[in-house]
């Protein structure tokens, strides 16, 4: 579901971090991509590793950063951030699993413990912008200058914790190797990823991928991983064919949306009749746009794989984004029926129903969104849609509460306080909704004061 509208949001919205006026880093933009299928695939890699590390796999939140450079990090608890550039460089699930195992090692080792309180209450936009600021400061050679522009700033000492030292990197490697071993996976993918990074060591810092700058690579680390591969009983273990198939279609989908259509059609020519190629071409034709060819490709996939929710979802997206809102309803309904637990599919169907603007469909959209926010309570875009649904029903108090939830999720504490106050004026005093509005107001005031105190300290 990597739609153009979604690419303009972070967890629904795009953010910009305006940095110090240093050459080459005056402005950095980042966006997050939301896609149920790709997030599910990454979660399939991460869940076993989190489980053996003693973490709750169901609590893993996967974020896809729309950035062609190689990078990955974990922040704010179990929030896993992966650059699309990293995913696209991975030829196998095992290579991505090696990176995720290493990042899990940082969590299990408590390497970011001093940052967790701040990051656990920060919005996703604030985390991304903060880390962008760190990267830009490293390039500019002036952490203090760039730090002034970081959203939801922290002290310079805390920022420096994200520049992991060599001891922490080795410890995370060893923990990650243990997690891979306990899940019956080879560490060869981790070694292959290190080899990719090692080719950049002679490049100037400005040309290196950010993962290499924040996770310094040493010969000793590579030798240790290579030795583990040699002695491990799983050193030659291969990815299951079904997992490799999911990986290949994930790569095809990402290329379809992130490359130019011409590049995608060169990578996946018409004579390639494999599923990933057909999937990539469907997206490329949609973006050209050539809807006749796009629909022919996706309809062919649906005919061959009628129970694949994500093919129906893509067809719904194609129709919705080309103005055929009524036609988009049926494929989105089928996608949601086939994958009823996916909140992103619920949200997409609800958006279509709201666009149709029929009273009975608004009621259904509201119900879908209330289910969706139970799974993704920090999804600002879902809360925005829910506010629209309540507003169309004339329920001003609940609409204001939904807007307060949206502002809270996005880290806009001032707006959260204001909207929660509006909600309390209309909602029945002491009702569950009124009590929730009071909680948002109190928490947002506390966080606003915390941020103000930190700005003064900086």
Structure tokens given for 10:
């972070």
Helices (H), 259-342: 261-267, 275-287, 291-304, 309-321, 325-338
Confidence label for 198 from pLDDT (cuts 50, 70 and 90): confident
**pLDDT given at position 61:** 81
**pLDDT given at position 188:** 97
Rounded-to-integer distance, Cα 333 and Cα 409, Å: 27
- Tell me the pTM: 0.83
Domain locations along the chain = 6-241, 394-458
**pLDDT given at position 113:** 52
pLDDT greater than 90 at residue 166: no
Q: Alpha-carbon Rg of the chain, whole angstroms? A: 23
Report the length, in residues, of the chain. 458
Nearest residue to 244 (alpha-carbon basis) of 98, 39, 101, 94: 94
Per-residue pLDDT of 145-154, as tens digits, reads 333 333 333 4
For the chain, percent of residues with pLDDT exceeding 90 = 63
DSSP output for 91-118: SSHHHHHHHHHHHHHHHHTTTTHHHHHH
Structure tokens given for 155:
């002290």
**pLDDT given at position 207:** 57
Rounded-to-integer distance, Cα 359 and Cα 164, Å: 54
**pLDDT given at position 89:** 94
Which of 129-138, 262-271, 347-356 is predicted least confidently? 129-138
Which of 34-38, 125-129, 164-168, 293-297 is predicted least confidently? 125-129
CA angle 46, 372, 333 (to 5 degrees): 100
Task: Check if the beta carbon of residue 200 is closer than 8 Å to that of residue 208.
Answer: yes
**pLDDT given at position 399:** 98
Tell me the mean pLDDT in the region 70-96.
88
DSSP helix/strand/coil, 270: coil
Nearest residue to 435 (alpha-carbon basis) of 450, 449, 423: 423
Residue 18, sorted as left (phi over 0), alpha (psi -120 to 50) or beta, turns out to be: beta
Tell me the mean pLDDT in the region 351-374.
97
Per-residue pLDDT of 423-443, as tens digits, reads 999 999 999 999 999 999 999
Q: How many CB atoms lie within 10 A of CB 56?
A: 10
**pLDDT given at position 36:** 95
pLDDT greater than 60 at residue 97: yes
Name residue 82's beta-bridge partners.
Answer: 64, 72
Helix 359-375 and helix 380-392: axis angle, to 10°? 150
């Amino acid at each position: 579901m990597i739609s153009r509208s979604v690419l303009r949001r972070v967890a629904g919205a795009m953010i910009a971090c305006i940095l110090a006026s240093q050459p080459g880093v005056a402005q950095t933009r980042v966006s997050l991509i939301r896609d149920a299928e790709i997030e599910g695939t990454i979660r399939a890699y991460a869940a076993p590793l989190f489980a053996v590390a003693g973490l709750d796999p169901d609590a893993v939140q996967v974020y896809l950063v729309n950035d062609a450079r190689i990078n990955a990090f974990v922040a704010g608890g179990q929030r896993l951030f992966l650059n699309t550039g990293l995913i696209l460089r991975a030829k196998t699930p095992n290579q991505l699993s090696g990176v995720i195992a290493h990042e899990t090692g940082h969590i299990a080792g408590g390497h970011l413990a001093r940052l967790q309180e701040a990051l656990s209450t920060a919005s996703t936009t604030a985390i991304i912008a903060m880390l962008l600021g760190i990267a830009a400061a490293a390039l500019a050679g002036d952490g203090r200058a760039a730090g002034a522009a970081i959203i939801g700033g922290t002290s310079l000492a805390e920022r420096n914790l994200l520049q992991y030292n060599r001891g922490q990197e080795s410890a995370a490697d060893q923990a990650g190797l243990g997690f891979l071993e306990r899940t019956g996976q080879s560490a060869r993918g981790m070694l292959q990823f290190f080899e990719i990074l090692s080719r950049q060591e002679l490049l100037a810092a400005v040309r290196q991928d950010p993962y290499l700058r924040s996770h310094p690579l040493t010969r000793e680390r590579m030798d240790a991983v290579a030795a583990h591969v040699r002695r491990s009983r799983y050193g030659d273990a291969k990815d299951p064919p079904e997992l490799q198939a999911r990986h290949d279609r994930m790569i095809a989908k990402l290329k379809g949306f992130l490359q130019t259509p011409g590049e995608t059609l060169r990578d996946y020519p018409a004579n390639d009749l494999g599923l990933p190629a057909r999937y990539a071409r469907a997206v490329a034709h949609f973006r050209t746009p050539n809807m006749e060819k796009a629909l022919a490709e996706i309809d062919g996939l649906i005919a061959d794989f009628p129970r694949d929710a994500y093919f129906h979802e893509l067809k719904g997206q194609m129709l919705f984004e080309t103005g055929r809102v009524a036609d988009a309803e049926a494929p989105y309904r089928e996608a949601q029926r086939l994958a009823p637990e996916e909140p992103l599919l619920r949200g997409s169907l609800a958006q279509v129903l709201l666009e149709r603007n029929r009273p009975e469909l608004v009621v259904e959209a509201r119900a879908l969104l209330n289910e969706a926010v139970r799974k993704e309570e920090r999804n600002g875009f879902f809360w925005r849609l829910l506010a629209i649904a309540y507003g169309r029903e004339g329920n001003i108090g609940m609409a204001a509460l939904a807007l307060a939830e949206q502002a809270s999720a996005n880290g806009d504490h001032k707006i959260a306080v204001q909207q929660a106050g509006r909600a309390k004026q209309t909602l029945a005093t002491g009702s569950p909704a009124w009590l929730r509005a009071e909680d948002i107001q109190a928490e947002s005031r506390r966080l606003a004061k915390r941020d103000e105190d930190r700005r003064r300290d900086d």
